[in-house]
Amino acid sequence: MTGPHGFAYERLGDHAVAITHRGRAAATLRGGRAEKFLVEVESGDAQLVMARWTGAYKLGNERAAKDHPRNRRRNPSRG
């Protein structure tokens, strides 16, 4: 399984950080959140950090897994 990719960030003039994913805006962080993000992104895996901060760390298979017969059996309310 591959890790997250396609993220980029840019420091803005007003002490904010804009995070993009594949060229589209994903998040804008300001103030203390922007500072915490910059510290974390510069000291770790930048792609993984940006994925986590934007909430884009899920790979898209959650809905399919929820409907799998094995998982339906565990949740009787789903019918």
Residue type, 40: E
Q: In what order do the strands lie in the sheet with 7-11?
A: 7-11, 16-21, 24-30
pLDDT of residue 29: 95
Name the H helices within the chain. 31-43, 46-54, 62-66, 69-72
Q: Which long-range contacts (CB under 8 A, 24 or more apart) does 75-78 make?
A: none
What's the pLDDT tens digit per position in 14-61? 999 999 998 999 999 999 999 999 999 999 889 989 988 988 666 555
pTM for this model (two decimals): 0.67
**Domain chopping of the chain, boundaries:** 7-78
How many Å apart are CA 77 and CA 16, to the nearest integer?
A: 44
Residue 33 host element (H or E): helix 31-43
